[in-house]
C-alpha cells in the first residue's frame, strides 16, 4: 500500500493516482515517497518544537523597536529643550542678563542631542538587522538566521537595544544551534 502525501489515504501499490484526492503518484518508487514523507514529518516535528526560539526572536525584534522609539523620543525632547534655550537667549530682554549658565546649558544639551541621535541611529541599525533575523526565522531559514547573529550584531544590540535585545539574540542563537543540530 502507498500512502498519499497530500491526504494520507492508502492506495494499492500499483496505483497511479490517489483514490481519495486524485494526487498523481510520481514515477519514482513508492517506497522512496514514503521515506521522504517520514523524513518530512520528523523535520516538521522538530521545527514545531521551536516555540522557545520563536519567543526569543519576537522579543529581540520587539525590544529593538522599543529602543529605536525611546532614543528617538529622547533626541526629539532634547531638540525641543535646546530650541527653548535658544528662544530665551534670542529674546532681547534676557540678552542683558545672559550669563555663562545659559551657554553651559546649551553646550550640555547639544551633547545630549548628539548622544541620543547616535543611539537612535544605532538602534535603527539594530532594528533593521533584527528585522532580517526575524523574517528569516519566520520563514524557517534557520541556518541563514543563525549566520546573521554575529558577535557584532549581539554587541550592537546590547549597546543600542536596551541590553535586552542582545540578551534575547544570545538565547536565540543557542536555540538555533539546537534546532539546526536536530534537523541535520
Average pLDDT of the residues in 140-148: 88
Statement: residue 122 has pLDDT above 80:
yes
* CA–CA separation, 119 and 159 (whole Å): 8
The chain-wide mean pLDDT, for the chain, equals: 79
For residue range 75-117, list pLDDT tens digits in order.
899 888 888 777 766 665 555 555 666 677 778 888 888 999 9
* CA–CA separation, 37 and 93 (whole Å): 83
Q: Which of 63-67, 167-171, 180-184 has the lowest mean pLDDT?
A: 180-184
pLDDT confidence tier of residue 28, bands split at 50, 70 and 90 = very low
Nearest to 6 by CA among 27, 26, 28, 21: 21
- Bridge partners for 11 per DSSP: 2
pTM value is: 0.64
Statement: residue 129 has pLDDT above 90:
yes
Where do the structural domains in the chain lie, given as residue ranges?
A: 2-48, 51-183
pLDDT at 30: 47
Q: What is the CA radius of gyration of the chain?
A: 28
Query: DSSP readout, 133-159?
Result: HHHHHHTT-HHHHHHH--HHHHHHHHH
For residue range 45-66, list pLDDT tens digits in order.
555 555 566 788 888 999 999 9
Coil, strand, or helix at residue 4? Answer: coil
Amino acid at each position: 500500500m502507498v500512502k498519499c502525501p497530500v491526504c494520507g489515504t492508502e492506495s494499492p501499490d500499483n496505483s497511479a493516482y490517489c483514490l481519495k484526492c486524485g494526487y498523481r503518484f510520481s514515477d519514482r518508487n513508492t517506497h522512496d515517497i514514503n521515506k521522504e514523507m517520514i523524513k518530512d514529518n520528523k523535520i516538521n516535528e522538530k521545527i514545531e518544537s521551536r516555540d522557545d526560539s520563536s519567543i526569543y526572536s519576537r522579543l529581540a525584534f520587539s525590544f529593538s523597536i522599543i529602543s529605536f522609539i525611546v532614543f528617538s523620543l529622547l533626541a526629539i525632547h532634547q531638540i525641543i529643550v535646546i530650541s527653548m534655550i535658544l528662544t530665551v537667549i534670542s529674546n532681547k530682554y534676557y540678552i542683558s542678563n545672559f550669563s555663562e549658565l545659559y551657554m553651559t546649558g546649551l553646550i550640555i544639551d547639544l551633547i545630549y542631542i548628539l548622544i541620543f541621535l547616535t543611539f537612535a541611529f544605532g538602534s535603527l541599525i539594530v532594528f533593521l538587522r533584527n528585522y532580517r533575523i526575524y523574517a528569516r526565522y519566520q520563514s524557517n531559514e534557520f541556518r541563514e538566521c543563525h549566520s546573521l547573529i554575529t558577535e557584532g550584531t549581539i554587541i550592537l544590540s546590547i549597546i543600542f537595544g536596551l541590553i535586552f535585545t542582545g540578551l534575547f539574540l544570545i538565547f536565540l542563537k543557542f536555540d538555533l544551534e539546537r534546532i539546526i543540530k536536530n534537523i541535520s
